[in-house]
Amino acid sequence: MEMLSGGEMIARALEDEGVEYIFGYPGGAVLHIYDALFKTSKIPHVLVRHEQAATHAADGYARATGKPGVVLVTSGPGATNAVTGIATAYMDSIPMVVLSGQVASHLIGEDAFQETDMVGISRPIVKHSFMVREPEEIPATIKKAFHIAASGRPGPVVIDIPKDATRPDAKFEYHYPDAVKIRSYAPAQRGHTGQIKKAARLLLSAKRPVIYAGGGVVQGEASGLLTELARELNYPVTNTLMGLGAYPGTDRQFLGMLGMHGLYEANMAMHHSDVILAVGARFDDRVTNTVSKFCPGAKIIHIDIDPTSISKTVNADIPIVGPVQSVLADLTEQVRQLRKKDTELPDPGALARWWQQIDEWRGDHGLWTGRRYGESDRIMPQQVIESLYRVTGGDAYITSDVGQHQMFAAQYYRFDQPRRWINSGGLGTMGFGLPAAMGAKLAFPDKEVACVTGEGSIQMNIQELSTCTQYKLPVKIINLRNNYLGMVKQWQDMQYEGRYAMSTYEDSLPDFTRLMEAYGHVGMQVTDLADLDTKMEEAFAMKDKLVFLDVFIDPMEHVYPMHVAPNGAMKDMWLSKNERT
Amino acid sequence: MRRIISILMENEPGALSRVVGLFSQRGYNIETLNVAPTDDATLSRLTLTTVGDDRIIEQITKQLNKLVDVVKVVDLTEGAHIERDMMLIKVRANGGAQRDEVKRTTDIFRGQIVDVGPNVYTIQLTGTGEKLDSFVAAMAEAEILEVVRSGIAGISRGEKVLRL
Ligand SMILES: Cc1ncc(C[n+]2csc(CCOP(=O)(O)OP(=O)(O)O)c2C)c(N)n1
């Protein structure tokens, strides 16, 4: 058997695990590991410019591919810098393995240089964490970490590694286990058959059904099955912010996103439904609006891998715990059997009336068919997303930051495939977009990757422009330039009589074009609508260049619809500055 | 409603902090907490009491089950069970009358005086939380110097067991 040091075991175990990229940043506590990687590893390492970006890049890679992202950071500030990215991944259930260096074991607890209790700090934002005690544990610990991160409801796992466990002069027998068994960890493998049968009956008895699908469908690779079931039944589908792409965005049965900035027809259909099939979604407060007023007439079937997501905020009438893929397969089978016996299921008349109602809603206020957006002589943000959609043929990986631009992207880019829409939904982390785009681009170098952002967000991880230079990552950055922290301004317009407390910075923004040039990238400004498409095309035509498109939009535009809060129901929405339902 | 939740978990460093952290992080309260290794040294048994409506208790048990270190969770209050809290209480006992009174009350509650000093008695008492509360109330006349309780430990009645 081969004898390896702790550091070498880490390098080797990551290879044995099939890791494609490591995103990281070196420092004292991980230098043995870096040296081992340097000497032995074939895995490319991406040196970011801030550890937060390492976690977001690994996260973007994970969201684009479905495989765990891998991060390596040093102890103390390296580890704490990674915290925001770990929390981001945790909130959106993204598989990630974070290796953090720790001071040598004999120094732990002594407030040693760059010591921080990483296991403690990260505890509430990880799926699990490990502290390596003996170097011999390293291979099995890494195996367990990947297993936990990627199975069940995925999430980030931290492995904290004291420096002495990686020293080069102590060698150990290396064996990487093929599989692990953790007696206290057994995510559900199948849904309960009895519950699935009940669900099939309820689903087919519906007169006003809606399928409400979330990020779990994307993560659980169940988009195909979901689409099949929805098409077979001709039921309308709405996706959460995290679920966009789980059902084809251009399909007639797709109602668009639901929730706080959801589409009118999606929120109306939810509110008036009699049966909701919730799949891999968690009734988040940004979806439900006031829980006590949520969809008063609806019976709820809720499929989720995580039992804690079920009946947490909204009670499920038929809970089904299991992987969405296997449960949807079983449910479809049950539905088919019931329909063989009774071809009038579901009631065709009722369904036709329901579609007629939905089409009316669409015609009245639908973003794509009915009402458009405000008009001015400025470029409207929605037009930028529509242009992006046209120029990329709807086929790009779109990452975003957090704010109005994120909501416009979610509403107007119509995702036909899962994993194409990459955003921080749960934590809402500004600064996510650019590093996430780097991860997606590394995963799919031949695909277009664009980051839709705002001047506020992009500056939270703008240092990564340098990483893009180093690794030649020609992502496109589409800046919806409104010269405000736009989403904050929108709330201040709506709730604080337009007092813009700390949401402006117009005088101090950099000249982004020159900034891009300083990094060796290309910057372009768009101020006229007439130039929008041409400039957009020009940007994407520069295949091997990072291009930053600074699009000056109407700064006064708000994101609509917007749920009326507090005390509003799903159906209560602002449709424009002076119209509400 | 008060619930007694019993957990079998890996006897690993960090496991306890995950359980306790879960409660503070999600705003659940812990009234009592008792934890020690079991006959199988790789496992710890943790028993805690908490209050909450059915929805909260359901969330608590699900969230506990989700922790990777937790092997099994049971809500003992769902069935017949035995609960025991152990108290050591030190009271001032000066002069014959007071010493007699303390001793009598201790006997009534079936406690034991486990340490005697010229001016103090230390009493050991085991029972339900309620019984210990009543004892403390009954001692109101005496001067209580120190109270220490183990927190509730519990087990189901009959054949039902919490094991691997
Ligand atoms: C790290 C972080 N800090 C603060 C916020 C609160 N926040 C949400 S949206 C927003 C404004 C974003 O401005 P910008 O990136 O320019 O996008 P816009 O809304 O103008 O499109 C802020 C400050 C956040 N989501 N994340």
Q: Indicate if A113 belongs to the active site.
A: yes
Q: Do A124 and B21 touch (CB under 8 A)?
A: yes
CA A404 to chain centre: 16
Q: Is pLDDT at A196 greater than 70 in this prediction?
A: yes
Q: Return d(Cα A242, Cα A19) in angstroms, integer.
A: 25
Minimal Cβ distance to B14: which of A131, A182, A306: A131
For residue B21, the 8-state DSSP code is H
- Cβ atoms of A172 and A6 within 8 Å: the answer is yes
pLDDT grade, residue A376 (50/70/90)? confident
Residues in chain B closer than 8 A to A184 (CB atoms)? 9-10, 68-71
* Catalytic annotation, pick one of A39, A113, A173, A189: A113
pLDDT digits (tens, 9 = 90+) for A20-58: 999 999 999 999 999 999 999 999 999 999 999 999 999
User: How many separate helices (H) and strands (E) can be counted in chain A?
Assistant: 21, 22
- Cβ atoms of A239 and A214 within 8 Å: the answer is yes
Residue A417 sits at φ, ψ, to 5 deg, of -130, 150
Q: Indicate if A52 belongs to the active site.
A: no
Q: Return d(Cα A521, Cα A513) in angstroms, integer.
A: 9
Q: Indicate if A232 belongs to the active site.
A: no
The residue of chain A nearest to residue B23, with distances taken between CA atoms, is A124
Residues in chain A closer than 8 A to B71 (CB atoms)? 183-184
On the question of a cis peptide bond just before residue A168, with omega within 30 degrees of 0, the verdict is no
pLDDT in the model for residue A507: 87
The b-or-e profile of B51-79 (16+ CB within 10 A means b, else e) is eeeeebbbbbbbbbebbbbbbbbbbbbee
CA distance A194 to chain B (A): 21
Which whole number is the average pLDDT over A529-541?
Answer: 97
* Catalytic annotation, pick one of A438, A487, A524, A536: A487
pLDDT grade, residue A371 (50/70/90)? low
The b-or-e profile of B85-106 (16+ CB within 10 A means b, else e) is bbbebbbebeeeebbeebeebb
Could you give the percent of chain A with pLDDT greater than 70? 99
What letter represents residue B132's amino acid?
L
Q: Return d(Cα A119, Cα A443) in angstroms, integer.
A: 29
Q: Does B66 touch chain A (CB under 8 A)?
A: yes
Reduced to 3 states, what is the DSSP secondary structure of residue A177? coil
CA distance A183 to chain B (A): 7
What tokens were used for A492? 């201040």
Task: Count other Cβ atoms within 10 Å, centred on residue A524.
Answer: 18
Q: Indicate if A114 belongs to the active site.
A: yes
* Chains A–B, number of C-beta pairs less than 8 Å apart: 35
pLDDT in the model for residue A285: 95
Average pLDDT, chain B: 95
pLDDT in the model for residue A364: 81
Q: Return d(Cα A168, Cα A8) in angstroms, integer.
A: 8
Q: Return d(Cα A444, Cα A386) in angstroms, integer.
A: 23
Q: Do A124 and B62 touch (CB under 8 A)?
A: no
Which whole number is the average pLDDT over A133-160?
Answer: 97
Which whole number is the average pLDDT over A227-234?
Answer: 98
* A454 alpha carbon – ligand 1 mean position (Å): 8
CA distance A259 to chain B (A): 24
Give the residue, out of A286, A407, A451, A457, with the most ligand 1 atoms within 8 A of its beta carbon, to mutate for a pocket test. A457
Q: Is pLDDT at A315 greater than 60 in this prediction?
A: yes
The residue of chain B nearest to residue A314, with distances taken between CA atoms, is B55
- Cβ atoms of B148 and B110 within 8 Å: the answer is no
CA A577 to chain centre: 29
Q: Is pLDDT at A506 greater than 90 in this prediction?
A: no
CA distance A319 to chain B (A): 13
Which whole number is the average pLDDT over A148-153?
Answer: 98
pLDDT in the model for residue A304: 98
Q: Is pLDDT at A106 greater than 90 in this prediction?
A: yes
Give the residue, out of A482, A485, A504, with the most ligand 1 atoms within 8 A of its beta carbon, to mutate for a pocket test. A485
Angle at A514 between CA A510 and CA A516, to 5 degrees: 95
Average pLDDT, chain A: 96
Torsion of CA A272, A276, A282, A283, to 10 degrees: 20
pLDDT grade, residue A409 (50/70/90)? very high
pLDDT digits (tens, 9 = 90+) for A164-193: 999 999 999 999 999 999 999 999 999 999
Ligand 1 closest atom vs CA A401: 15
The residue of chain B nearest to residue A147, with distances taken between CA atoms, is B68
Which whole number is the average pLDDT over A520-545?
Answer: 97
Q: Do B9 and A184 touch (CB under 8 A)?
A: yes
Reduced to 3 states, what is the DSSP secondary structure of residue A484? strand
pLDDT digits (tens, 9 = 90+) for A40-49: 999 999 999 9
- Cβ atoms of A248 and A254 within 8 Å: the answer is yes
Task: Count other Cβ atoms within 10 Å, centred on residue B125.
Answer: 20
Q: Return d(Cα A372, Cα A363) in angstroms, integer.
A: 11
Q: Do B10 and A184 touch (CB under 8 A)?
A: yes
Q: Does B21 touch chain A (CB under 8 A)?
A: yes
Nearest CA to ligand 1 atom 18: A486
pLDDT in the model for residue B94: 87
With a cut of 70, which residues of chain B have pLDDT below it? none
What letter represents residue A21's amino acid?
Y
Q: Is pLDDT at A369 greater than 90 in this prediction?
A: no
Q: Do A183 and B71 touch (CB under 8 A)?
A: yes
What letter represents residue A196's amino acid?
I
pLDDT in the model for residue A76: 98
DSSP string, A166-197: G-TT-EEE----S----TT-----S--HHHHH
CA distance B86 to chain A (A): 30
What is the pTM assigned to this prediction? 0.97
pLDDT digits (tens, 9 = 90+) for A286-312: 999 999 999 999 999 999 999 999 999
pLDDT digits (tens, 9 = 90+) for A318-353: 999 999 999 999 999 999 999 999 999 999 999 999
B82 strand-pairing partners: B155
Could you give the percent of chain A with pLDDT greater than 90? 96
Minimal Cβ distance to B68: which of A124, A182, A307: A182
Q: Which residues line ligand 1 (CB under 6 A)?
A: A 401-405, 428-431, 454-457, 480, 482, 484-488
pLDDT in the model for residue B73: 97
pLDDT in the model for residue B140: 84
Q: Do A184 and B14 touch (CB under 8 A)?
A: no
Question: Which range is least confidently modeled, A74-83, A133-142, A357-366, A463-472?
Answer: A357-366
Q: Return d(Cα A156, Cα A118) in angstroms, integer.
A: 13
Q: Indicate if A383 belongs to the active site.
A: no
pLDDT in the model for residue A370: 56
Q: Return d(Cα A91, Cα A110) in angstroms, integer.
A: 33
Q: Do A307 and B62 touch (CB under 8 A)?
A: yes
Nearest CA to ligand 1 atom 1: A430
CA distance B63 to chain A (A): 6
Residues in chain A closer than 8 A to B164 (CB atoms)? 183
What letter represents residue B115's amino acid?
D
* Catalytic annotation, pick one of A8, A17, A51, A137: A51
The residue of chain A nearest to residue B72, with distances taken between CA atoms, is A184
Name the interface residues of A facing B (CB cutoff 8 Å): 119-120, 123-124, 127-129, 131, 148, 182-185, 306-308, 311-312
Please count the residues of chain A: 581
Give the residue, out of A430, A480, A553, A559, with the most ligand 1 atoms within 8 A of its beta carbon, to mutate for a pocket test. A430
* A426 alpha carbon – ligand 1 mean position (Å): 14
Ligand 1 closest atom vs CA A484: 20
What tokens were used for A174? 């290396």
- Cβ atoms of B49 and B152 within 8 Å: the answer is yes
In terms of pLDDT, which residue wins out, B140 or A515?
A: A515
pLDDT digits (tens, 9 = 90+) for A427-439: 999 999 999 999 9
* A403 alpha carbon – ligand 1 mean position (Å): 5
